[in-house]
Structure 1
């Protein structure tokens, strides 16, 4: 029908604008936060863009939920404000006839949310943690300060000292290093130059043009060895991020059938967001009711209240499932069923806006 095509077209244009605005607000806020942390040295400057990308991807499902809900609410509220909905109801039509076009608009949002929530986000979360670990290791390698004794890696028996350090090239001049092995033998290294490197999952200290002295303190067994190049392994492999270490990185297929409460709670959350796109879009139909005579947009406040109750309720039930207080189905169904009941009741009432609330509820819809 013509009204359906025009309605979906207007919804699409509105959704694009709302999504861009919400995305711009959230990204700019997070960018300011990360740039502030980078200025204070808590985050590497070259990692800001990647961290913003991972964070934005993680927020996309919630943005899609909000976009579908706000778009439907905005367009239908305009219909009420311009008296188009009054003409609709006066013609003997019901608000229930808006369900089909609203679902045609919301189902693609729900499918996209499901794909991101079930497949993309676990992968992105794992890549984000791996990136953070690599970044952390690079920061440890680059944490060099001239004239200060520092531990080499995580070992307390390895200490090095650098006379000068070029921050641009990463080259250390006149380097001194002392280490003690498990047998108590001491090794002292003097080198003219040295650099840190991270290759093939190995963190190494590359030294050139120096001497190495080995022996046991108090005994005359020290020997001297000169070298042109010496590689000291700091760490054999960086920390490997395992997908099973966090419920947020576990693939969705591994969550099904699991008896672990934290896995059930994560699966509940991943399934709930796509469903909430459809439910909130349908809920926007009766919540869009606006009385042009009063001029008050109380429906917006009511819609915000419903959204907060819905999302906070789902979060509360998810946490209850994770803590083992509820089983999976008791955590998944209540809030969705409650919102569906609210949709049925409000559609019945708003189809007869001239009637008092309880009279419309008892009298039935047109």
Structure 2
């Protein structure tokens, strides 16, 4: 039909705009957070873009679900506000006839949500952890920014370099202060670099410098010049192993696991595409707008329904992970929201009837 094509086209254009706006807001917020951590030295500068990308992949299913819900609300609210819905209703197109084109629009996005939540999301979580772990295990000298005092991970050594060459891995005008068993040792060197021995030990090789050790004014105070001085900075640690947290576990492992936490995570992932379809259906009656009133209270009720739905799913997932309820209980929030959508759909098909009268008539017909 004509309205099927026009509705699908308008939904598509609106969804693209909504998705871009939501993604820009979330990415800018995360980018500001990571840039602040990078300025403090907690995250490497070159890692910001990669971590933002992994974070966006993990949040992609939720963004798509919210895009489908908001796009449907915006488009159908405009149809009601511009009196187009009154024209279609007078032409014999009931509100239920809008369900199929809405679901046809939401179904491909729900399939994409399923693919991302079941496969791409766990991979992104694991890669993000691996990348962050690799950066943590970098050589301490390469993590130093020129002109900034940097404390080692063991909090017993402080570094300062005036210039650093990332390509050659060498630094110049180096200051190192080491505190071991209460003894303070200060080393000043013109140049230095980090090397890894065959046994995996990492050493800081300093050249052409001077070393001060001990407490100034005491008898055991040492002062010496050197041409080459080696400082051990630990062993090369192995990279992160297999995924251990639930969000990073592959779906196949969750399916074969009998742990309550793994069952809860699997139920959550399977709920994502189903919630996308249910929210798209729920948006049809929630988009009702009375042009005479001029108030957009329907958007407030729609947001309230969305938050109740997501919080209900989160609460159910937590209870499943605590082994308080069976895994099939995850279907209860979906059933409640689907039932609410059917109830509102039947009520909006009779807009002249008050909600209390509609409920009373429904109860009498069942009795």
TM-score (norm 1): 0.80
2:345 corresponds to which residue?
Answer: 347
2:105 corresponds to which residue?
Answer: 105
- CA shift digits 1:34-65 (9 cap, x unpaired): 22222222222222111211111111111100
1:64 corresponds to which residue?
Answer: 64
Mapped partners of 1:122, 1:48: distance in 2? 20
Q: Does 1:168 align with 2:164?
A: yes
Asked if 2 retains the 8 angstrom alpha-carbon contact of 1:175 and 1:193, the reply is no
Mapped partners of 1:256, 1:149: distance in 2? 45
SS at match of 1:196: strand
- CA shift digits 1:49-96 (9 cap, x unpaired): 112111111111111001000001111111111112122223343211
Asked if 2 retains the 8 angstrom alpha-carbon contact of 1:279 and 1:336, the reply is yes
Mapped partners of 2:35, 2:92: distance in 1? 57
1:310 corresponds to which residue?
Answer: 309
1:75 corresponds to which residue?
Answer: 75
Cα offset, 1:206, TM superposition: 5.5
1:296 corresponds to which residue?
Answer: 295
SS at match of 2:203: strand
- 1:215-230 superposed matches below 5 A: none
Asked if 1 retains the 8 angstrom alpha-carbon contact of 2:94 and 2:349, the reply is yes
Q: Does 1:19 align with 2:10?
A: no
Cα offset, 1:203, TM superposition: 5.9
Mapped partners of 1:91, 1:287: distance in 2? 22
Q: 1:265 to 1:140 in 2, by over 3 A?
A: farther
Q: 1:174 to 1:341 in 2, by over 3 A?
A: closer
Q: 1:114 to 1:202 in 2, by over 3 A?
A: farther
SS at match of 1:256: helix
Mapped partners of 2:158, 2:66: distance in 1? 55
- 1:1-366 superposed matches below 5 A: 1-138=1-138, 140-142=140-142, 165-169=161-165, 170-171=170-171, 194-197=192-195, 202=200, 204-205=202-203, 207=205, 234-243=234-243, 245-330=244-329, 332-361=330-359, 362=361
Cα offset, 1:258, TM superposition: 1.9
SS at match of 2:134: helix
**Structure 1 spans left out of the alignment, 5+ residues:** 181-188, 211-225
SS at match of 1:284: helix
CA RMSD of aligned residues (A): 3.5
Q: Which aligned runs of 4 or more in structure 1 are off by greater than 4 angstroms? A: 143-146, 148-151, 159-162, 172-178, 189-193, 197-203, 226-233
**Structure 2 spans left out of the alignment, 5+ residues:** 181-186, 209-225
Q: 1:240 to 1:356 in 2, by over 3 A?
A: same
Mapped partners of 1:71, 1:127: distance in 2? 32
Mapped partners of 1:346, 1:339: distance in 2? 10
Asked if 1 retains the 8 angstrom alpha-carbon contact of 2:102 and 2:281, the reply is yes
Q: 1:199 to 1:48 in 2, by over 3 A?
A: farther
Q: 1:241 to 1:265 in 2, by over 3 A?
A: same
TM-score (norm 2): 0.80
Mapped partners of 2:92, 2:158: distance in 1? 87
Mapped partners of 2:150, 2:46: distance in 1? 27
